[in-house]
């Protein structure tokens, strides 16, 4: 009895300790807000597979700031009082942000999965260019019936049978520059030797086939759903939403190869939530999260410990596709972008 009484007294003491002077138990701490700037693609899946589990694990409240990469980068750069903590960008915009000194540098030692990242991702981290969380590449998605032809190469996009049937990425999107470099390849010219002259010649020849340029994969999905286009040049991350809009659409990467891009997480150097932001980065790189996003968002993992089934590996930058993928040299492209954007808009919007 004495032992039982002692236990009861200890429990009562603990309860008393946790009760405030007003006679009420102390409330749990309020969730901390983390503002994440990201693409607006597949938001329902992102909430289910990424944000909600993160909120639960870290007692956090995620607030999204969405838009295409260029829009969000420009917004971050132009607003010194921004409250964005974490921003997810394509490599091009990340390179701009590093040059402009906008991001906190993360070292490999801060990343719990660093040793498990694929070599290219480790190299980006070591260069101070942020933390890659997925790799994607550019390809062609088309409806064989409405296209009226079989497409198996980049050159096929210039087929007159596709007049008014194609949508291509705007030059300021993730794969806009890559598509321009691809246009130069079709002409057999290395864009670094002529600063893109051959690419714009090819684009001018392609223009009759282009119904519309696009800023988001959801725009392409709507064009397919409405039967306005039969072909689009897209990043593989957009395949699920487009396939849902047009189940007959087929995605392919030409045997000649493709251009790849890492999507990269960076932390605003002025964030007030550095510890939570770092936790978010590590959370995105975990095996569990990378597997979930591979299934729900068509994101190829950069964590080498994540093993995908053949079915799950389809339409992702893995295996043979990854082996044939090249990287755009943004140290060459970025200084040309202002000129390219002006020429692109004058050509495609006139």
Whether 8 is covered by a domain: the verdict is no
Whether 200 is covered by a domain: the verdict is yes
255 and 160 in a common domain: yes
Measured CA to CA, the distance from residue 326 to residue 252 in angstroms comes to: 16
Residue 84 CB contacts under 8 Å (≥ 6 apart), including other chains: 35, 36, 37, 65, 76, 268, 271
142 and 131 in a common domain: no
Whether 44 is covered by a domain: the verdict is yes
pLDDT of 22: 39
Residue 104 CB contacts under 8 Å (≥ 6 apart), including other chains: 266, 267, 268, 269, 271, 274
Whether 189 is covered by a domain: the verdict is yes
Measured CA to CA, the distance from residue 314 to residue 208 in angstroms comes to: 32
- Per the prediction, the chain carries an average pLDDT of 91
337 and 234 in a common domain: yes
Q: Is 338 left (phi over 0), alpha (psi -120 to 50) or beta?
A: alpha
Whether 21 is covered by a domain: the verdict is no
Binning the chain into helix, strand and coil, the percentages to the nearest 5 are: 50, 20, 30
Number of independent structural domains in the chain: 2
39 and 63 in a common domain: yes
247 and 145 in a common domain: yes
198 and 239 in a common domain: yes
Average pLDDT for 187-209:
96
Domain residue limits at 250: 137-259+329-348
Tell me the C-alpha to C-alpha distance, in Å, between residue 293 and each of 42, 283, 286, 302, 309. 11, 12, 11, 11, 14
How confident is residue 155, by pLDDT bands cut at 50, 70 and 90? Answer: very high
343 and 208 in a common domain: yes
Share of the chain above pLDDT 70, in %: 92
267 and 286 in a common domain: yes
pTM score, whole prediction: 0.82
pLDDT of 27: 56
Share of the chain above pLDDT 90, in %: 82
Taking 50 as the threshold, does the pLDDT of residue 10 lie above it?
no
Tell me the C-alpha to C-alpha distance, in Å, between residue 13 and each of 5, 6, 29, 86. 12, 11, 22, 43
254 and 149 in a common domain: yes
Q: Comparing 11 with 242, which gets the higher pLDDT?
A: 242
Q: Which two tokens stand for residue 348?
A: 């495609």
Taking 50 as the threshold, does the pLDDT of residue 23 lie above it?
no
pLDDT of 14: 42
Q: Which two tokens stand for residue 80?
A: 């010194």
The pLDDT tens digits for 71-130 are: 999 999 999 899 999 999 999 999 999 999 999 999 999 999 999 999 999 999 999 999
98 and 55 in a common domain: yes
161 and 303 in a common domain: no
Taking 80 as the threshold, does the pLDDT of residue 52 lie above it?
yes
Whether 51 is covered by a domain: the verdict is yes
Taking 70 as the threshold, does the pLDDT of residue 305 lie above it?
yes
287 and 185 in a common domain: no
Whether 16 is covered by a domain: the verdict is no
CATH number of the domain within which 41 lies:
3.40.190.10
């Amino acid at each position: 009895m004495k032992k039982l009484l002692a236990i009861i007294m200890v429990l009562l003491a603990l309860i008393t300790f946790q009760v405030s002077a007003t006679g009420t138990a102390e409330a749990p701490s309020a969730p901390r807000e983390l503002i994440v700037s990201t693409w607006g693609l597949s938001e329902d899946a992102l909430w289910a597979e990424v944000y909600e589990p993160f909120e639960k694990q870290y007692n956090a409240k995620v607030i999204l700031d969405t838009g295409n990469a260029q829009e969000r980068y420009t917004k971050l750069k132009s607003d010194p009082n921004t409250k964005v903590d974490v921003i997810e960008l394509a490599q091009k915009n990340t390179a701009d942000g590093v040059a402009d000194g906008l991001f906190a540098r993360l070292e490999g030692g801060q990343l719990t999965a660093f040793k498990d990242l694929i070599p290219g991702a480790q190299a980006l981290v070591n260069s101070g260019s942020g933390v890659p969380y997925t790799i994607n590449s550019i390809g062609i998605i088309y409806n064989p019936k409405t296209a009226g032809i079989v497409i198996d190469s980049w050159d096929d996009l210039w087929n007159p049978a596709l007049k008014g049937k194609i949508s291509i990425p705007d030059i300021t999107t993730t794969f806009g520059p890559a598509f321009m470099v691809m246009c130069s390849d079709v002409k057999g010219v290395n864009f670094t030797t002529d600063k893109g002259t051959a690419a714009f010649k090819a684009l001018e020849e392609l223009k009759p086939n282009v119904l519309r340029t696009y800023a988001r994969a959801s725009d392409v999905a709507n064009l397919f759903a409405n039967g306005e286009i039969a072909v689009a040049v897209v990043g593989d991350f957009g395949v699920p939403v487009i396939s849902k809009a047009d189940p007959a659409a087929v995605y392919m990467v030409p045997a000649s190869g493709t251009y790849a891009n890492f999507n990269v997480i960076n932390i605003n150097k002025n964030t007030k939530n550095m510890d939570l932001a770092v936790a978010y980065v590590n959370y995105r790189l975990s095996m569990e999260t990378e597997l979930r996003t591979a299934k729900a968002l068509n994101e190829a993992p950069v964590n080498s410990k994540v093993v995908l089934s053949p079915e799950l590996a389809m339409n992702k930058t893995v295996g043979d596709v990854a082996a044939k993928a090249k990287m755009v040299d943004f140290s060459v492209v970025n200084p040309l972008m202002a000129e390219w954007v002006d020429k692109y808009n004058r050509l495609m919007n006139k």
